[in-house]
Each structure stands twice: as C-alpha cells, then as structure tokens.
Structure 1
C-alpha cells in the first residue's frame, strides 16, 4: 500500500480535530471491513501478433478494508475522505492466443488501494424524518493504485512481470447508519466502484526467451462491495 495515502487520512483527521472552526460533534472517524467482488473482465495482451492475445478473467471474492474521516457540512450533507484497500483480486480465465482458444488458463492477482472524497446525503434529514435507521446515498471521486502480480499461463509456460499503475476512480454508495450509543453508530453500505485500469509490465517471457510486449495486459477493475463499519463522532 502507498504509505502516503494513510498519512493523508491521518493528517486530515488531525487538522479537523484541532481546528476550532470545526464543531466536535460534526466530525466523525470511520473504520470497517467488507467484501468485494470484481466483475468479469476481458483482458487483452498486446503481443507481437494481431489480433492480440486475450483472457476472460473471473475473480474470486476479496476482503476490503476502509478508514475515513467525515464532516457534516449541512444538516443533510456529509463530506468524507475515505481510504480503502482490496486485498488481492485473484483473476483467472481461459487464454486465447491470436484469437484462438488454447485450453490453457491465465492467472494474476491485483491489490487495489484508493483514496476518495465522497458526498453523502442523509435521506432522513432531507425528509425531516426522525428515523433511528438513517439511510444515505452518495458519490465519490479520487485516485486508485493497482499492484498487479505476475501473470502466468498454465504450467508457467509463459509469464508477464508484475507492475504498479494508477489513475482516476469513482464510486456510488447506498447505506444506512444505526446508533449504538451517544457517539457510536453502525454503518452498513453497498457500493459500486470503478477503479480504472490495472496494467502489467511490458516485460514478458515465452518459449524459453524474453520479449517486450507492444502494450501491457490491461484489466478494468470494477467491483461490487458490501461494508460494515463503525462511526465514532468526536
């Protein structure tokens, strides 16, 4: 994980907690764990032939971790800075060489870390309802970093080296909070996230020798996520 990302969250928490312009009851800290499932993707590999090689990648479910700090901007709107980490999507599927099925399987693993700024709308406040369960909706934009492991084909006959890439990310979320005490709430949510493209290295090995790809193996990382977190209002 990029060490600068959790540092950014902690710095923001420190500024918010010590700035007298912020009312203490309007600031909350958040931490939780969840489940993430990546959508099936068709990954292309720009080797030296046309059409490019391809793998139809399906993903196993993965654990997701989340930290955040939020601030109530208005009666019905929260701003939240959120750091999340998805611990290793294992992606594998049938491998096609120059457009023809090979009967082999391509495999890789991708860790995704993101930092986003979200706007969360408190629907109970919008409707002026005094519900104990407070539903919310929101959207967020930010940055995602992907650490793609070595891509291999069945029996390790070919491989592409690991690589780190990054880019724009966004998320849409629906959830609800429920009070557990004066300052503590349970937060359950569903999110659809598009973390952009993860890319492999251009360095590859095939048939006993090294080669350079024309373009990397690319995977669009889009996921469905369920999270359970605790909010602590400071």
Structure 2
C-alpha cells in the first residue's frame, strides 16, 4: 500500500469532486463543456442517459483502448482508472441533481460561470496530481498513445482533446441536427485549465508525502 494512503485518497476524492463540480458549472453556463466532457454531455441527448453514466462508459472505452495500444505493457494497476471513473461519474450525477434548478441566461453571468468552472477544475486537477495515486482514463489514454508511438504527452493531449470535440460535434449534428455542448466555453476551458494548473501546482509544493 502506498505511503500515507488515506491522506492521498482523501486528496484524490476531493480533487475528483472539484473536477465534477467544474463540469457541472460548465454545463449550467450553457457555453459548452470541457473537451473531455463534450462527448458524455452531447451523448446524453442522443441516448437519454445521464452525463455521469456516459462518463463511466467513456472511461471503460478509454481503458480498453489503452489495453489495445499497450498490449503486454498494460499493467493491472491501470484498471484502477475504472473505479476512479465510476466515482467521478457519480459525483457528476449527484451534483447535476443537486443543481438542477440552476439556470443562466445572461451572457456576462455565463462567462463568469465558465471562468469559475475553469478555476474549480484546475484546483481539482492539482489535487489529483498531488495525490499521485491514479489518473482519469483520459490522461491514461494520452499517456498510452505517447508511450506506444513516442509522441510528446502534451501533443497527445492537445490533439486528443480536438478529436473528442470533433466526435461530439459530428455525433450530435448527425443524429440531432444541431451542435450540443460545444461552444466558446469549450475553447476557453481547453486553454485556461492547463494554464491555471501550471501556475497553481508550484504553489501547492507544501503538499507532499514522504515515502
């Protein structure tokens, strides 16, 4: 068992909760969700399933893709991404239910909510990184592509996010005849969260676990 397991687990769960809250706020802003949530959100209109449930299903697909890419290099501990994805999806559904009465129609308020969601999401990502236990399947898939083909991880994430958004756009347009969950907020989130994480992580250097 990793050193300081309970403390790190609490940090991980706190990070997942904040990330889920960030997803929830971005959905309520009606300006588009983050790239990683664009598929679950748009597909929730296609299949009449909750965003959290579709998030879990997407995690399963991403884990299976990691297995296909890595082959024998796929390690059993990477399956830990599945319970993390289930917890993340459950947090999203709980928070969506708790905030179902929220409605934003004033553009300035929508932009403010979008920016706040970026901040909350970035803090959550930092906590997950500092916990250093297991990451979400999206990052796991990008890491697998990087390892399999020798591409730089940052490039894999950038192009991977673009692919996710394109899948969401094409799927919604093909089935529903309109684009759902992808707007200017999607671009803002894609650009802002990574930048905020880079700025915040050094300020959280006091959070460390001695082995």
Q: TM-score under structure 1 normalisation?
A: 0.23
Q: Which has the larger radius of gyration?
A: 1
Q: Higher helix share goes to which structure? A: 2
Q: Higher strand share goes to which structure? A: 1
Q: TM-score under structure 2 normalisation?
A: 0.25
Greater RCO structure (CA 8 Å; 6+ sep): 2
